[in-house]
Chains A and B, each alone.
Chain A
Amino acid sequence: MQASNASPLPIGAASPGTEPVADVQKEVDVLFEQWAEEESHVDLADLRWTDIFVFGLFWLLFAVVFLQFYTRYVLNDSLGWTEEIARYLLIGVTFFGSVTAMRKGSHISVEALLIYLPPEARHWTLVVVDGLVALFCGAMAWYAYVLGALAPGYMVSIDIPKGYMYWAVAAALAGITAHAAMRFVRRLRRREAAVTHGLVLD
């Protein structure tokens, strides 16, 4: 093993007492400091102001679920409406979050075939793919709108027609369609990198 005393950085020692332990701990401290340093440079360039909506929706969901947790364990009397509202908010987060995901092209897909295709064939395959996605999302937005108009009844815990929820989904799907369509146009003009959708994990 290398003796790496090459790091004389003055670190708030996590070693116990004054015991001089010639071991890995110091290296680890340095590594974590570097990591914290890297983590503190946060790149938010991929976000848009429109993301504020879904950001709020997410923390509202958190608040509602936490409220349920709190009322059940601390006050011993859980609020009945929290569960239903939380489920609707989750639907909202899924579909409005998908707008962000579509804008960034991060819906998971399989790349298996594409990497073996010559560039031109790959381009046209992706044209077809993005066209199909945009068409499909548009159709779904329309169906969600129709469903909202047909859906009978009110939500259980609050006096809001259930149809409104489907209309919210329709609005989200319209947003997804808009981004899918833009992606399709960019693809046609060859302004989009020749890769499929995929989640970039960080």
Chain B
Amino acid sequence: MLVTVMIVALLVMIVLGVPIAVALAGSSLLFLVLGNLTGEFTTPVITVIHRMVNGVDSFPLLAVPFFIMAGNLMNSAGITKQIYDFAVAAVGWLKGGLGHVNVAGSVIFAGMSGTAVADAGGLGTIEIKAMRDHGYDTRFAVGLTAASSTIGPIIPPSLPLVIYGVVANASINALFVAGIVPGLIMALFLSGAVVLYAHRNGVGRDASFHLGRLGWAFLNAFLPLLTPAIIIGGMSFGLFTPTEAAVFACAYALLLSVVIHRGFNLILSARGHKPRYSVLSMRQFVRVTMDTLETTAVVLLIVAGASIFGWVLTTTRTTDALGEWIITYASDPITFLILVNVFLLIVGCFMETIAAITILTPVLLPVALKLQIDPVHFGLIMVLNLMIGLLTPPVGMVLYVLARVAKISFEDCVKACAPWLIPLLLVLLLITFVPETVLWLPRTLKELGYL
């Protein structure tokens, strides 16, 4: 009964526009206050703050600020440019060139950054402008950029997967490795869509292919390209914890943009060339830090709020009851996964990713485990679902960012992104019903004794 009051209070507060972290912790506070008043539930009220603090007191969560900062740093420090140049040299000569460059650039960027928004707001700006300047339809450019930015949190590192791993108590390394294949499948599907578009609209190449040029672009991008190689390689072989990988990525980006690029520029100007490597200024450094801090605080406060909320749901055995209720409707894995997908797609339209993961994982995961669905598989399904939610109105972070970046209306942005939901949904279907796409790589690595 009290739990019902709590859940209703949560929903009412969220709909009214109370910040989600406050709504989660506030409804739990209400539950404990009422419980103590009626004598139904006599845990002291200060449990709320105790659980909130404990919810953030976790080593894996330390990866959160640094993965957020890595993406911000890469953008501010202009490291993005070398990556983009490399992508142009590598796939720009295909038909529909800049479309493929868009996808390839996002894949590489995904290997350093953990959020879709960092991709869309940083590299995405350039991707859209370059395509538009080169005569591509703005809608095509915006839609493709939106779709390719969702690869970011699927290919490791990934902020949503860290949060899921912490809430679900699953191995974050395994989750990260599991994201590699689905991320590449997404890239393949998106590139396929670009090929279709190029074929139907007679789009040609945007660059010519030269092996020498590719080699030069690769050398130029070699230092930035080391970042994803070390992060993904290190975590796949169990050398790094995600937190260490995150700190490494930041330290390396700082080293590149503060020391190494400055050195390159000195060499260039000594030889009479124009310095062309960008260097991080002090003001940029402050800006990046403060943006990172703010995002970290906002994300982790939601995690803290969800921690007390989840605790109430578990100790009152509400999750068990909900689970049994769900199982009466979906007693086999297939039905359950279909229902979960539909449900999460709807939730993703209205709720922000981190909030949805922290609230829903404690409810849905026990059922999934009972139906013998692997928690890693389930995590990837959940995150991809919510990533698709980033492209759907009314609450779609990527839509907001891209509408502002491309200077088009929100409605136009929604229309531009709509067709790109098809390839993403196809990938979702594939990874949902062919678990091997997700589980093959972590299993193989585990059998080989790594991970």
Q: Chain A residues in contact with chain B, CB under 8 A?
A: 1-2, 4, 10-12, 14-17, 19, 21-25, 27-28, 31-32, 35-36, 39-40, 42-44, 47, 51, 54-55, 58-59, 61-62, 65-66, 68-69, 72-73, 83, 86-88, 90-91, 93-98, 100-101, 104, 106-115, 125-126, 128-129, 132-133, 136-137, 139-140, 143-144, 146-147, 150, 165-166, 169, 196-197, 199, 201-202
Contact = CB atoms under 8 A, between A and B. Distances in A.
B250 A62 contact: yes
Given A28-B85, A44-B286, A47-B286, A110 B351 contact: yes
Nearest to A172: B297
B390 to A, nearest CB: 12
Tell me the interface secondary structure of chain B in the complex.
helix
B129 interface: yes
Contacts of A83: 59
Interface in B97-143: 97-98, 117, 121, 125-126, 129-130, 133-135
B146 interface: no
Contact of A136 (B29, B134, B244, B352): B29
Given A24-B97, A108-B298, A110-B15, A1 B126 contact: no
Contacts, number: 270
Contacts of A201: 117, 121, 295, 397, 400-401
Contact of A94 (B134, B204, B297): B297
30 contacts: A16-B216, A21-B213, A28-B85, A32-B80, A32-B81, A35-B125, A43-B287, A51-B290, A55-B293, A58-B65, A58-B292, A62-B66, A65-B247, A83-B59, A88-B57, A90-B65, A93-B65, A93-B297, A100-B293, A109-B17, A110-B14, A113-B15, A125-B16, A140-B49, A144-B53, A147-B46, A147-B50, A196-B17, A201-B295, A201-B401
B286 A55 contact: yes
Contacts of B445: none
B293 A58 contact: yes
Nearest to A89: B62
Given A65-B247, A94-B301, A129 B125 contact: no
Interface string B374-401: 0000000000000000000011010011
Interface string B299-321: 01110100000000000000000
B278 interface: yes
A62 B247 contact: yes
Contacts of B294: 97, 100-101, 104, 106, 199
B213 A93 contact: no
Interface stretch (B267-275, B337-345, B424-432): B267-275
Contact of B17 (A1, A12, A94, A113): A113
Interface residues of B, number: 102
Nearest to B277: A12
A94 B130 contact: no
Interface in B331-365: 350-352, 354-355
B21 A202 contact: no
Nearest to A67: B247
Given A4-B133, A140-B25, A90 B56 contact: yes
B21 A27 contact: no
B297 A97 contact: yes
Nearest to A34: B129
A87 B213 contact: no
Nearest to B278: A36
Given A87-B57, A199-B298, A109 B19 contact: yes
